[in-house]
Structure 1
């Protein structure tokens, strides 16, 4: 099974949230950079102001001494305190995030009369406030992203729901039902209305096309019935004559068989041209177990000239309500195909439970890949007759007939050679 695809609303939501996340990271990074730069400017300005004020007082009053204020300490020139070894490594200038005695400080180092002077301020509390502010900003960004994703997902699902509903309506369309249309929801967008109108226009044009095809098939089939019946009747009258040479008789029998096959084909085309719901008008109740021996006897003459036998297994009682001529044509042509594709052995016709008819032949056999190719041809429209052999109806037409009437058709290999064809007529079983 193919992996499930993400919905359009989920994809849009994920992309928007990802975009907002990238944008937030970029804004936070830029804000931190600007904050660090502004912070350094503030520290530099403040420390320079303090130390300049001290130096001016020192020049005016050489006896003036620095008095530490809260968090600020002076070392070196004019302070009366030597430079600590931990600070001696720093070059003149401003230094941020200096660890001294286990706390964070900002340090300003400069040279006065060739001597080093350092003013240091404790910024630990400021760093903690800054960390709390950054954490609050990050939590706010995460909260906004979560709320944005949830809100956008909810909004997009509401916006996409009419599209999903329309897709469901399209999926429920039945090719064998007429008058089907797709109605967009009341809150559908104008684009969806355009799509629905275009689809409904296509459905209407397709229905008109199918109706024309059905009418053409029905009309042409009816027109063909008369000349085919004339040919078959003329052949029967000629065969009834007592002075027909054997060579001519053989050809007349061939003409008669072909005419009967064309009559079956015309009947099949007429069925395919009808709505399945209207087939009940021509359906009748009959015993399938009584029909099968007649079919075997009708086709036994096709085994002439071959080392081939027809056999029928004991059949359980089975009553169908269906077009008897169509059932006869379908089973008869499957039996004809089995005879034409076999040279010697026994062809067995059997009736199982629930109206399952099976025909097993000892013929040339079909490999699984050949059966797969045959099913592919049977599934393609317009390729009827591709698997046809001799004068019988092609398997593709029989398959379309089964699909039309709700029957089933299976073709299976029969080792070591031969083929087993199963026709499932359970949908036509008469009610008890």
Structure 2
């Protein structure tokens, strides 16, 4: 049963499948020519029907004209003197007694006149000896009785006219169909020429992917729209590929140094295996190297997830939207987590939340409440902003320093601002601060050993990705990130997030 069903489906698909193997130009030509053939065939049939109708009507008119003089004579004369018609007209007159008074009919037709005397007046078609005749029968009445007047024409002449016209129409239709097929081929070739250019350009992309673009024609048609869409897709793909290539290159470079250091530390530990104090020191330093590698891997994973989210949003995924108060709650939670790290250096972390001013309704803020502003960022993104910025500050500050975190709504944007009272950064570092794997000089770097002058404790070295993550999160939300040195001392990092309208 299944094999029979599969065979039946294959038979049904049989006539269609070979067409799929043809070129698009051939399929367009065949399809348009087939439609034109159907239309021409219908037109020929309709015209043939019309011609048959017109010829039959003309024949009836001529037959009426042949019979009318005799009908008129018989209606007024009981014993008329009938003369034969001219022009090879076929007319017969039969008296009330059945006598044929006049006849120009062929003998085989005269033999059928007896049956026509009883036929109602009108037009009909009779077949005599294999030939068809169209006849008009009239029954004039006078004092002598009911006469019969018959006018006839051979239908073969009508058939010849109709057949000749049908042949002419068919030949004309075939010529038109051939011309239409050629025109369809030429037009399809011209219409698909931009597609062929796009195909050749696409083949060239492998040789020069960073420069090549698909050609966009001057016409504002579907092909131009397709080329524009594909160019935008290629641009996004090239950007993503370049980012990934750059990340792999940077990550390889950044991983090389800590891995080499870790290898050296482990080798030294093996050499000092008999010295417990030296072995413990080597292991402790190895732990710091592993911690730096772990932080680098986590930061790379965070950046990869952010970029993947951006690609999904470009493909149509809905962006997250979070209310101001929910983000404020996450700021407080993130500050608490930063305080746990900062407590090792006696660094104070304070925060301030300034709710938006409300103008009515129900919601947070002063003035009675309204629908609170929302931002295109989730609580996880806000946590990354606070922990990365404040975490960098903790690593750079000396013992006893301070960090201040504020989250407020200003105008049509939310502003996250984190300020510390540390040494700041060199002015030359500010333009590249948010680039990947960039770090300031030793003034902002964590140190592998305690600093006697400041009391800074040993913490794992930074990955150089913290501020890059901050910028990626901010830009994904449609905002910006910037930093500046505070004139009184310290560094101020500001993230601005636009409200969702």
TM-score with structure 1 setting the length: 0.49
Q: Which structure would you say has the larger Rg?
A: 2
TM-score with structure 2 setting the length: 0.43
